[in-house]
Amino acid sequence: MTKAHFWQLISSLVLLAVLSTSAHAIETASTLRGNITGGVGHEMPVWFKESFLDIAADVEEATEQNKHVLLFFHLNECPYCDRMLNENFRSGPIRDQIAKDFDVIAINIKGDREIEFNEDLAFSEKALATQLKVRYTPTILFLNADNEAVARLNGYRARDQFKKILQYVSSSSYQTQALSSYLAQQNITDSDYALRTHPLFKEISNLSAVSGPLAVIFEDKACRKQCNEVHDTILNSDEVKHEMSAFTVVRLDADSNQTIIDPQGKQTTPKNWAAKLKLNYRPGVVLFTNGKEITRIDGLLYSFHYKEVFRYVSGGYYKDYASYTDYLAPRQEELLSRGVNIDLSK
């Protein structure tokens, strides 16, 4: 072999090694899968009722003890469920109040246990969650003596507000007024939050004139803890701001009597409109397209879920998926398959 042939052979081998290494790197990168972090495992408190999941019988038993039934819909690894349980159900005076006035029954929205809701309706846990259109966890349903839902909470509630909601149900105030109006009265003494601004917020009073996706955020002067948390964390996220930028975003004071025009062209006030929407969480968000409500955020969401709700609407995915929950599973799979990591905790 001549010297020239020798170096030609060496060059070929080196090139082959480089190509092989590059191909392996590309193959490895293409198969790299993202991870989901931030999920929190949780156990139900031992004092929750050991129900046979005959809800009508549970309601009858609770009524005999001058109690209401509280259904706690949860999901494995749900960080919002764990936070709700820690702050309200596991320790402290709120826990004692709940145990005194309520029989609490835990229902896993992906579970397979059979639930007899009444003599005509029986479902698996996940089928019941679908039937009740559970969008977020935890979702809490309060039942009266007739096995009827008298209040519903979609998502986490802070301790101060949850205490008022417990009083609303245990005092049977639902017989005379809606939860939103009750909370508005109770919150008068807690009005120490100064509504904050944000670069995305627009001052628009005629919402029917908005073209494209519209996001209406309701705050009030009593939402200090929840509203500050959203402004300090969620609305500071670049990913959240990117998804929200596709919307006209209008923030309203839910206590205001200012005249506005709603997306359907009807004259109203933020106070009356929030009551009509039965929006009892602050900061509550209602998302519209072409004047029609598509979905809402009426409980605590961290950045990943928050931004994905906006994408669900602005991307038109609501046309293919009946609910945000239906959209979320394939969306997460899409991101993970592309190697994107998902953090549920911030």
Residues 120 and 218 in one domain: no
* pLDDT of the residue at 5: 52
| pLDDT score of 260 | 98
Residue-level pLDDT, tens digit, the chain, 346 residues: 554 454 454 444 444 444 344 444 444 444 699 999 999 889 999 999 999 999 999 999 999 999 999 999 999 999 999 999 999 999 888 999 999 999 999 999 999 999 998 777 788 999 999 888 888 899 999 999 999 999 999 999 888 889 999 999 999 999 999 998 888 887 665 567 899 999 999 999 999 999 999 999 999 988 888 999 999 999 999 999 999 999 999 999 999 999 999 999 999 999 999 999 988 899 999 999 999 999 999 999 999 999 999 999 999 999 999 889 889 999 999 999 999 999 998 8
Domain contains 44: no
Q: How far apart are CA 134 and CA 126, in angstroms?
A: 10
Assess whether 167 and 236 both reside in one domain. no
Read off the CATH number of the domain in which 333 is found. Answer: 3.40.30.10
Question: Looking at the structure, do residues 165 and 233 belong to the same domain, yes or no?
Answer: no
184 lies in some domain = no
**Does a structural domain hold residue 18?**
no
pLDDT at 28: 42
Domain extent for 140: 55-176
Distance between CA atoms of residues 57 and 39, nearest Å: 34
Domain-embedded: residue 104: yes
Is 98 a domain residue? yes
Distance of CA 137 to the CA centre of its chain: 7
Q: Are 320 and 238 contained in the same domain?
A: yes
The reply to whether 215 and 334 lie within a common domain is: yes
Number of neighbouring beta carbons within 10 Å of residue 49 = 18
Q: Does 160 lie in the same domain as 217?
A: no
Task: Indicate whether 315 and 268 sit together in one domain.
Answer: yes
Report the number of distinct structural domains present in the chain. 2
Specify whether 315 is located in the same domain as 216. yes
Residues 101 and 142 in one domain: yes
The residue out of 160, 176, 192 marking a domain boundary is: 176
Let me know whether 162 and 229 are in one domain.
no
Domain presence at residue 71: yes
pLDDT at 168: 96
d(CA 281, CA 156): 9
Question: Is the same domain home to 172 and 211?
Answer: no
Q: Domain for residue 91, yes or no?
A: yes
Tell me what pLDDT residue 2 has.
Answer: 55
pTM of the full structure: 0.84
* Residue 10: burial class (beta carbons within 10 Å; 0-12, 13-18, 19+): exposed
Domain assignment present for 260: yes
Q: Which residues contact 143 (CB under 8 A, 6 or more apart)?
A: 55, 59, 68, 69, 70, 71, 149, 150
Q: Are residues 151 and 262 in the same domain?
A: no
Tokens 């020798």 identify what position?
A: 6
